[in-house]
Amino acid sequence: MFLIGNIIYSQNLTLTQVLSVRKKNIAEAEEYLTQKNWSMINAEAPTSETYGSLTFAYNKSDFNDKAESFLWFYYSNENPERNRISVQIHKKEKYNEYINQIKKWGGKIYDSYVEEKVFYKIYQGSTMTYIIDSSTQKDDFSSSKTIYGIFIMTNDSFRFSRYNKK
C-alpha cells in the first residue's frame, strides 16, 4: 500500500514541468498532461475579454469531482507568451516542494495579504510571478483541510492583474 501511494504521488508534476506547460499551445498542453495521467475535464474558448482555458484533474475519483490536484491552463491565441497556469494542490508536501523551488530560483516575497478568508503571498522572480493562496475547506466529515493554489504569470501580466495591490 505504501509503495502504491508513493508511485501515484511521484507522478504529479514538478514546478519545472508546470512552467513548461505554460509555454505550449493547447494541443501540446493537452497531449503532455494526458501522457502524465492528467484528465481533461473542461475546455473554454477565449473571447475578446477573457482567456481560453483547459481544466485538468490528476488522480480524479471516478465517483465524484474530487482529485489529488487540478490544473488550469489559461491561453491567448493572440499572445501565447502571456499564457497563465494555475495549480490547486491538496498535499502539503507538494506545496512545500513548489515553494522551495520558487525560492531556489531566486523568487522573493513581493507582497502578502488576506482577502475573503484566503491568505495570499506573492513571490516574484526575474521574469515570473507566483501567486500562492492558502485556504481551508470542510471535507465530507466536517473536518478542515488546507487547499493550496499557485497561479503563475509573467511579471508584465502581473502588473495589471487584480492580485497586484501595490
Distances (CA, A) of 46 to 50, 71, 117: 6, 17, 30
Query: Does residue 62 lie in a domain region?
Result: yes
Q: Which domain holds residue 30?
A: 2-159
**Number of folded domains that form the chain:** 1
CB count in 10 Å sphere of residue 44: 12
- Would you tell me the crossing angle of helices 26-35 and 15-22 to the nearest 10 degrees? 150
- Averages of pLDDT over runs of 10 residues in the chain (166 residues) are 38 88 93 94 92 92 83 87 90 92 96 95 96 86 87 91 83
Amino acid, single-letter form, for residue 158: F
Query: Does residue 165 lie in a domain region?
Result: no
Identify the pLDDT of residue 1.
36
Query: Does residue 164 lie in a domain region?
Result: no
